[in-house]
Structure 1
Amino acid sequence: MAPLLFLLLLCQVTLYTTVTSKKVCGRPLVTDGIDESSLKRVYEVGDEVTLTCELGYTPSTAAPHKLACTPAGQWTATDLACTPRTCPIPRSLQSLVPGRTTVPFKTVLNYTCDEGYLMNGANKSNCLADGTWSHPPPLCKAVNCALPKPPRDGRFVLDKANTGTTTMYGQGWTYECNPPKAPSFERGECMADGTATEPPICRDVSCSIPEEIPNGFIAFAVLRTHGYKETVKYACNDNYMLDGQAETQCTNTGKWSTKPVCRASCLVNINRGRILYNGRKIWIAELKPKRVLHGEHVAFYCKNKVEKCGYPVTSTCNDGTLALPECFQGKCQSVDGHGPQ
C-alpha cells in the first residue's frame, strides 16, 4: 500500500502545481473617482474590463477605457482620470474662502447661527453629483424678547426707537428712576434666551463731599454731598494739564466716577540751539516760557559728523519729564547741523 499512496500524493501535488502556476490578474488599481463596484478580485488572462467614472465625476476623455489582463499577469495601461464635479460656493460664504468660487462634489457645508439667533432652514447641505446643493443656505433670525418691565418709580428708555411689543436680541436700554432716586443698575438688554433683563430697584443714593486732586482744584461747585448724576468740575493749577474728563459724576453706586489727573508741564532744559515744536523751527530763546505741556512733542537736532548735517530726534513731555536725546549737543546745534547763526 505504501507505493500506491505515495503515487497518489505525487499526482495531487503535480495537479495542484499545474493549476496554480497559471497567470491571473488581480483587481485593477484605480484612482479616485473610478467606479469599482463591478470589479472582481481575480481575472483570467485575456479578460477585459471597461472603466467608468463614478456618478459625480467627469472622465478625462469620452472614449471607452478598456484594460486587458496580459499573459504576464498584468493589466494594460489606462490614462483615464476622473475629476470631481463642483458646486458654486454660496454668495453669502464667498468672503470666507477668498480666491475660490467652487468646491468639489461630496463637500458638506455645516451651518450654525451665532448666539441669540435661530436657524430657519437646514443646518447641512451636500454638494450633489449634478453640481447643485441639496439645500439652500439657511437664514439666522434674531431672537425676540418682550419689551422690558419698567422699575417701580421709574421707566426704561430704549437705545433705538421701537413701535412694537417686542425687541430683538442685542438691543439695549437704560433704566431711569424718578429723581432723586437711582437705579441699582442702569443697563438692560434682550438676552440670547429670549428674556429681558429684570428691572432694577430705585433707591436713594448720595455721594460724599468731592475731594481735591493733586495740583488742581474743584471749579464751580459747593463742597457738600451730592445726589445721583450731579457733577463737579475740576481744573489744574498753572503749568499743569488736565488728563481725563474735567467733570466727575455721582454714580448709582454712591461713588464718584473717575477723577482727572493734573500732569506737569516740562522744562526744555537747553541753553542754545533750535528745536522743532508745533510744526515750527524755532530758537530756544523764542520759547517763552521754556516749557511744553504734558503729551506734547519736541524735536531736538543732532549732528551727523560724517555727513556734516543735522537730523531731528523727537522727545515727548511725560508728566514733568522731557528727556534730551543722547546725541544732542546743546551748545552748538542748529536746524542744519552747522552751529548757531
Structure 2
Amino acid sequence: MAPTLALLLFGLSALCTTVTSAKVCGRPPVPDGVDTSSLKRVFEVGEEVSLTCEQGYLSSTATSSRITCMAGGQWTESNLACAPKMCPIPRPLQPFAMGRTEAPFRSVLNYTCDDGYVLLGANESRCLHDGTWSHPPPLCKAVNCPLPKPPRDGRIVHDKAVMGTTTIYGQGWTYECNPPKAPSFERGSCKADGTTTEPPICREVSCSVPTNVRNGIITFAVMRQHGYKEKVKYACNEHYTLEGDAEIHCQNTGNWSSKPVCRAPCTVGIKRGRIFYNAKKIWIEDLKPNRVLHGEHVVFYCKNKAEKCGYPVASTCNDGNLPLPECFEEPGKIEYNLKAKSLPSEIRTCATSPTARPTSSASAS
C-alpha cells in the first residue's frame, strides 16, 4: 500500500509542475487616460491587446495601439499617449485662474459670491469629456432691502435715485432732521443680510464757542455756541502754512470737526554754502529773507571725498524744523571766500549719489 501512495503523490506533483511552467502576462501597465475596462487580470503568451484612450482623452495616434504578451512575461512597448481634453475657462474667470485659459478634463470650478450677493445658478461646474462645462457660470445678484424708514422729524436723502419699493446691497443714504435738530447718526445703508439701518433719533445739538488755533485766526464766526452744521473758518498768520480743512463744522455729536494746524516756516541754518531752492541755485547770503515755508524742499550739497565730486541731498521744512543732512559740512571762512570753486556745489557732480540718511523730522501737531 505504501509504494502505491508514494507513486500517486509523485504523479500529482508532476501534474502541478506541468500546469504552472507556462509563462503568462499580468495586466499590462498603462499610462493615465487609457481605457482599462476590457483588460483581464492574466493574458497568455502571444495574446494581443488593443489599447485606446478613454472618454475625455485625446490619442497621440490615429489608430489603436496593439501590444503583445511575450514569452518572458513582459508586454511589447506601446506608443500610445492619452492627453486630457481641455475646457476653455470663461473669460471673466481667467484672472482668478492665475492667467490660465483652459482647464483639463475632470477639473472642477467652484463658485461663491461676495457678502451681500446671492448666487443664481449652480455653485459647481465640471469639465466634461467633450471639452464643455457641466454648468454655465452663475450670476451674483445683489441682495435686496426694503426701503429705509425716515427718522421722526426728519427725512432721507438717497445717494442714488431709488425705483420701486426696494434698494440693493451697498446703496447708502443720509439721514437729515428738521433744523435745529441733528440725527444721532447720519449714514445708513442696505446691509448684506438684506436689512436696512434703523432710523436715528433727532435731537438738539450744540457745539461750544469755537477757539482759535495757534499761529492763526478765526476769519468768519460769531463767538457763541453753534448749532448742528454751522461753520467756522480759519486762516494762518503770514508765512505760516495751513494744514487741514480751513472750514470746520458742528457735528451731530456736539463736537467740532478737526481744526486745521498752522505750520511754521523754517530758517536755513547755515552761514556759508550754496543751496538749491525754488528751482534756483543760490548762495545762502542771497536768500533774503532767510525763510522756507512748511513742506518746501531745500537741496544741500555734500562731497564724496574719495571720488572728488559733489552730490545733492534734499531736506524738507517741517513745522519750523529744517534738518541739515549728516553729510553736509559747512566750509570755513577762508575756504568759502577764497576757494569757493572747490565747494561741493561747484565741483563735478557725482555720477551716483550715496544713499543719504533721512533729513525730515516727525510732524508736530
TM-score relative to the length of structure 2: 0.86
Q: 1:86 to 1:205 in 2, by over 3 A?
A: same
Check 1:271–1:155 CA distance in 2 against 1; reply closer, same or farther (3 A cut): same
User: 2:13 maps to what in 1?
Assistant: 13
Q: Measure the CA separation in 1 of the matches of 2:265 and 2:16.
A: 107
Q: How does 1:220-299 map to 2 (within 5 A)?
A: 220-299=220-299
Alignment of 1:112-151 (within 5 A): 112-151=112-151
What is the correspondence of 1:35-74 to structure 2 with a 5 Å cutoff?
Answer: 35-74=35-74
Aligned partner of residue 281 in structure 2, secondary structure:
strand
Deviation for aligned residue 1:97: 3.3
1:174-205 Cα offsets, whole Å, 9 max, x none, are: 11101110001100011112222111110111
2:193 is paired with a residue whose SS is coil
Is the CA contact (8 Å cut-off) linking 1:302 and 1:337 kept in structure 2?
no
2:88 maps to what in 1?
Answer: 88
Give the drift of 1:229: 1.1
Gaps (5+ residues) in structure 1? none
Q: Give the corresponding residue for 1:316.
A: 316
- Residue 3 of structure 1, CA deviation: 4.2
Structure 2 counterparts to residues 79-228 of structure 1, below 5 A: 79-97=79-97, 99-228=99-228
Cα offsets for 1:97-130 (capped at 9, x unmatched) = 3553221111111111111112222222221111
* Partner Cα distance (2:245, 2:4) in 1: 117
By how many angstroms is 1:250 displaced? 1.3
Alpha-carbon RMSD across the aligned residues, in angstroms, is 2.0
Q: Distance in 2 between matches of 1:321 and 1:191?
A: 48
**Residue 22 in 1 paired to residue 32 in 2?**
no
8 Å CA contact 1:249, 1:257 repeated in 2: yes
- Give the whole-Å Cα distance in 2 for the aligned partners of 1:9 and 1:181: 114
For the 8 Å contact 1:301–1:337, the answer to whether it is kept is no
Aligned-residue offset at 1:140: 1.4
In 2, Cα distance between equivalents of 1:92 and 1:21: 64
Contact 2:298 2:314 in 1 (8 A): yes
Percent identity over the alignment?
A: 69
Letter in 1 for 2:58: T
- Cα distance in 1 for residues equivalent to 2:209 and 2:99: 63
Task: Tell me whether 1:336 sits opposite 2:346 in the alignment.
Answer: yes
Aligned partners of 1:273 and 1:334 also within 8 Å: no
Distance 1:3 1:156, change over 3 A: same
SS in structure 2 at match of 1:266 = coil
Q: CA deviation at 1:17?
A: 2.8
1:292 match: secondary structure: coil
* 1:176/1:182 contact within 8 Å kept: yes
Deviation digits for residues 209-253 of structure 1, max 9, x if unmatched?
Answer: 223333333332233221111122233334432221122221111
Paired residue type of 1:179 = P
Does structure 2 retain, via aligned residues, the 8 Å contact 1:209–1:224? yes
Q: What TM-score does the superposition give when structure 1 sets the normalisation length?
A: 0.92
- Structure 2 contact 311–344 (Cα < 8 Å) conserved: no
Any idea what the Cα deviations from partners look like across 1:244-289, whole Å, max 9, x if unmatched? Answer: 1122221111111112222222110111222111222222223222
Equivalences, count: 338
The answer to whether the 8 Å contact 1:32/1:82 transfers is: yes
**CA distance in 1: counterparts of 2:290 and 2:318, whole angstroms:** 15
Deviation at 1:135, TM superposition (A): 1.6
8 Å Cα contact 1:145-1:190 kept in structure 2: yes
Q: What letter is aligned with 1:310?
A: G
